[in-house]
Structure 1
Amino acid sequence: MSKKVKVIGVNMMPFTKPGTHEPYEVMAARAVKGALEDAGINYSEIQQAYASYVYGDSTCGQRALYMVGMTGIPTINVHNNCSSGSTALFLARQAVEFGSVECALAVGFEEMQPGALKSHWNDRTSALGWAEDRLKELWPEVPEVPRAIRLFGAATKEYLEKYGVNPDIFAKISVKSRNHATNNPYSLFRKPLTVEEVLNSPMLMPDMTRLMACPPTCGAAAAIVCSEEFAKKHGISNAVEIVAQALTTDMNESNDNIINLVGADMTRRASKQVYEAAGIGPDEVDVLELHDCFTPAEVITYEGLDLCEEGGAEKLINDGDNTYGGKYVVNPSGGLMSKGHPIGATGLAQCTELVWQLRGQAQKRQVENARVALQHNLGLGGACVVTMYRVG
């Protein structure tokens, strides 16, 4: 029988620019120690660990955790592109839910390099080569720019052509996210922006500027999950339940258009599974942390998560239904646009923010009466993790 799974401890390090960070093992160990303190348990009570990162050798997870303790527990290293952190959480949750362990740890960390993401393995088949080949079939004249920019820039073009919306909606999301970040001491960028500043920043692709793209950063985050029985035994009263969680990968339909090529189809299927498993629909969600690697990705994700109908994101944005006082508060942390995107840590930083929100610990950025939270973490190539949390 499956068990209810609770998040009992979370922590994250403020993300920093590449070159100004601590070594990955130091960041990760600090994140884990903070999560243990938050949970009020000792490391000896962790029975299994999942460590997520992309740029590193094969047992970096062990190297990081050995700085916390050498207890002999199974440690699994997780690499699932930009959804690595949430995939680690997915595996930790599974281990607890199906009774393999009573308490598990997910930790994510990354030391990034400046500039756009790029492959470090050019002597072998590209994991994303199929997507790049399909993109060239759909848009033969696609500009030769770094891969992530090329894919999401092409999706931006397709979205505008399909729905005929005003392209300023992408700038409005940048402004919204930065406004949220002004109240988040964990965000790297906290200076407010204007629509004009975003639109006038350097162009990456048609209708997509630099201030519509998240920066690479370095950091770490951690979450501890356990069974309901474990939480009761340890007198933990502020636990947050993982109500439902789904991990999807690409299907044949995922490459029928560019919007699906950048994760819309995976998002749609993952969110549907979560809503059905939880018995809770999108209308009951109060707060979300979603994967805004580019602001057009946030627009596409609104529709993939069924926050609005297809083509309805423009109205949701213009009505203010993605911020405080509206229907949803999306990325109260400021999102990847403001914190940056240290790949292995991103999903667990999202988890940390939502747990703080549901506990009422988010200080100036607190979403009033937040009871249900939704997390979306996307990795091209591909993997999408959607997680629903609930308090009370």
Structure 2
Amino acid sequence: MSGKVFVVGVGMTKFEKPGARDWDYPDMAREAGTAALADAGIDYREVQQAYVGYVYGESTSGQRAVYELGMTGIPVINVNNNCSTGSTALFLAAQAVRSGQVDCALALGFEKMQKGSLGSTYTDREQPMARHLMALSGLYEFAMPPAPYMFGAAGLEHMARYGSTAEQFAKIGVKNHQHSANNPYAQFQDVYTLEEVLASRQIYGPLTKLQCSPTSDGSGAVILAGEDFVDRHGLAGQAVEIIGQSMVTDLEHTFTAQSAITLVGADMTRAAATKVYDQAGIGPDDVDVIELHDCFSTNELLTYEALGLCPEGDGGKLVDAGDTGYGGRWVVNPSGGLISKGHPLGATGLAQCSELTWQLRGTADNRQVAGAKVALQHNIGLGGAVVVTAYRGLS
């Protein structure tokens, strides 16, 4: 990594159940983008490039979205990388700043989703997940919908290999719902007991409904800047530095390992995290707060291990020890995570960045992790891409 990159402004909408609010994606983008610009204290005319992410939408929806903030002729790059779309936009914007091409960039993501489980938009061509699903169906009998099938199968594999239990996965759901009760941006703010999570409708394998992320509408936005920009605008008091960042896509052994855990991206995560720790000169024990991709509770547990929070197979022990909630070694998903905050695909990675920025600034209100200095973000999209980012506060 060469030049320094700082988060100087963040903003997001409340995440909503699809159709619960009378708005369209330009409204979402205007709300989140305006908030991020106000947080940075700058005008849109100072933004030199915009990277705009969404999964479900027509071509150049990114332009239509950011035109709500201004029409200055800057390059607007549309980004789609499945559920890691928002953090991919962040990754690209950070690259532009780090390389010196620009000294201020916008990463914005949004999603206006259909109700119910995710489905295919086009049926007359190869599905990007077909190879993953074919490999997995040789290990576990195929079931619909595909996403909970894949992550539920990974949970079953972990249970068979390492002895993790349905209760341990359910405890993750309990934790994240508890955390979201303090998040005004969260789609859900209800708290559930372990018994209620276990008794909710079974989806696949150990997964019940209250351990699965919902479909959501919403937007997130982040302003990134270089060191000179931060100095010129007097933003050092609120700037958060990106001290490590890596994107990794599927590896050859994704399809040869004959493992559901590998097929849902654990090895991508492990590779990306290793690079980020090396770039940042830190290890897992140096991290205070984490936002990770808990699309399903099983994936949160798998990600504990892939991020190096514990040895492979010990994720369940980490849960039982209370090491991933307030008072534990790390606070994981203080926002409520995808399970309870919601998961508008294009916005998720930028909402994670927003939460961690607030945590490192010490402005996360009732969610504040005491003394948070270093944060880690993990965002995954199957098919596939993982983005892991490490942050450090300046003040």
Smaller-chain TM-score bracket: over 0.9
Give the equivalent residue in structure 2 for 1:201: 200
Give the equivalent residue in structure 2 for 1:8: 8
Following the alignment from structure 2 to structure 1, what is the Cα–Cα distance between the partners of residues 66 and 348?
18
Give the equivalent residue in structure 1 for 2:252: 252
Following the alignment from structure 2 to structure 1, what is the Cα–Cα distance between the partners of residues 93 and 142?
40
Deviations 1:22-71 (A, max 9, x none): 10011101111110000001100000000000000110010011111100
* Identity score, percent: 56
Following the alignment from structure 1 to structure 2, what is the Cα–Cα distance between the partners of residues 172 and 67?
41
The one-letter code matched in structure 1 to 2:18 is P
Query: Is 2:46 the partner of 1:20?
Result: no
Following the alignment from structure 2 to structure 1, what is the Cα–Cα distance between the partners of residues 314 and 270?
15
Following the alignment from structure 1 to structure 2, what is the Cα–Cα distance between the partners of residues 64 and 295?
32
Give the equivalent residue in structure 2 for 1:172: 171
Following the alignment from structure 1 to structure 2, what is the Cα–Cα distance between the partners of residues 165 and 150?
18
Q: Unmatched 5+ residue regions in structure 1? A: none
Deviations 1:275-304 (A, max 9, x none): 011101111000000000000000000000
The one-letter code matched in structure 2 to 1:245 is Q
Q: Where in structure 2 are the equivalents of 1:49-128 lying within 5 Å?
A: 49-128=50-129
Q: Where in structure 2 are the equivalents of 1:285-324 lying within 5 Å?
A: 285-324=287-326
Give the equivalent residue in structure 2 for 1:229: 228
SS of match in other structure, 1:344: coil
The answer on whether the counterparts of 1:2 and 1:99 sit within 8 Å (CA) in structure 2 is no
Following the alignment from structure 1 to structure 2, what is the Cα–Cα distance between the partners of residues 51 and 58?
11
- Deviation beyond 3 Å, 4+ runs, structure 1: none
Compute the displacement of 1:169 (Å).
0.5
The answer on whether the counterparts of 1:253 and 1:265 sit within 8 Å (CA) in structure 2 is no
The one-letter code matched in structure 2 to 1:126 is Q
Compute the displacement of 1:20 (Å).
1.8
The one-letter code matched in structure 1 to 2:41 is G
SS of match in other structure, 2:378: strand
Compute the displacement of 1:166 (Å).
2.2
Deviations 1:325-350 (A, max 9, x none): 11000000000011111000000000
> Aligned match of 1:270 in 246, 269, 272?
272
Following the alignment from structure 2 to structure 1, what is the Cα–Cα distance between the partners of residues 37 and 389?
22
Following the alignment from structure 2 to structure 1, what is the Cα–Cα distance between the partners of residues 270 and 352?
19
Compute the displacement of 1:206 (Å).
2.3
Deviates more, 1:48-57 or 1:306-315: 306-315
SS of match in other structure, 1:132: helix
Following the alignment from structure 1 to structure 2, what is the Cα–Cα distance between the partners of residues 30 and 165?
42
The answer on whether the counterparts of 1:376 and 1:387 sit within 8 Å (CA) in structure 2 is yes
Compute the displacement of 1:154 (Å).
1.0
Deviates more, 1:163-172 or 1:295-304: 163-172
SS of match in other structure, 1:173: helix
Following the alignment from structure 2 to structure 1, what is the Cα–Cα distance between the partners of residues 119 and 154?
19
Following the alignment from structure 2 to structure 1, what is the Cα–Cα distance between the partners of residues 218 and 138?
37
Give the equivalent residue in structure 2 for 1:38: 39
The one-letter code matched in structure 1 to 2:368 is Q
The one-letter code matched in structure 2 to 1:190 is Q
Q: Unmatched 5+ residue regions in structure 2? A: none
SS of match in other structure, 2:278: helix
Give the equivalent residue in structure 2 for 1:145: 144
Compute the displacement of 1:138 (Å).
2.1
> Aligned match of 2:370 in 368, 371, 374?
368
Following the alignment from structure 2 to structure 1, what is the Cα–Cα distance between the partners of residues 211 and 340?
10
Give the equivalent residue in structure 1 for 2:133: 132
TM-score (norm 1): 0.98
> Aligned match of 1:390 in 381, 389, 392?
392
Following the alignment from structure 1 to structure 2, what is the Cα–Cα distance between the partners of residues 305 and 119?
31
Deviations 1:85-144 (A, max 9, x none): 0000000000000110000000000001111111111110110110011011222xx142
The answer on whether the counterparts of 1:289 and 1:375 sit within 8 Å (CA) in structure 2 is yes
The answer on whether the counterparts of 1:6 and 1:242 sit within 8 Å (CA) in structure 2 is yes
Following the alignment from structure 2 to structure 1, what is the Cα–Cα distance between the partners of residues 144 and 111?
24
Following the alignment from structure 2 to structure 1, what is the Cα–Cα distance between the partners of residues 107 and 171?
34
Query: Is 2:215 the partner of 1:216?
Result: yes
The one-letter code matched in structure 1 to 2:352 is Q
Following the alignment from structure 2 to structure 1, what is the Cα–Cα distance between the partners of residues 204 and 271?
29
Q: In angstroms, what is the RMSD of aligned CA positions?
A: 0.9
The answer on whether the counterparts of 1:158 and 1:258 sit within 8 Å (CA) in structure 2 is yes
Following the alignment from structure 2 to structure 1, what is the Cα–Cα distance between the partners of residues 225 and 207?
42
Following the alignment from structure 2 to structure 1, what is the Cα–Cα distance between the partners of residues 385 and 166?
28
The one-letter code matched in structure 2 to 1:238 is Q
- Provide the aligned length of Structure 1 versus Structure 2: 390
Give the equivalent residue in structure 1 for 2:281: 279
The one-letter code matched in structure 1 to 2:64 is R
TM-score (norm 2): 0.98
SS of match in other structure, 2:347: helix
Following the alignment from structure 1 to structure 2, what is the Cα–Cα distance between the partners of residues 216 and 40?
32
SS of match in other structure, 1:260: helix
Give the equivalent residue in structure 2 for 1:186: 185
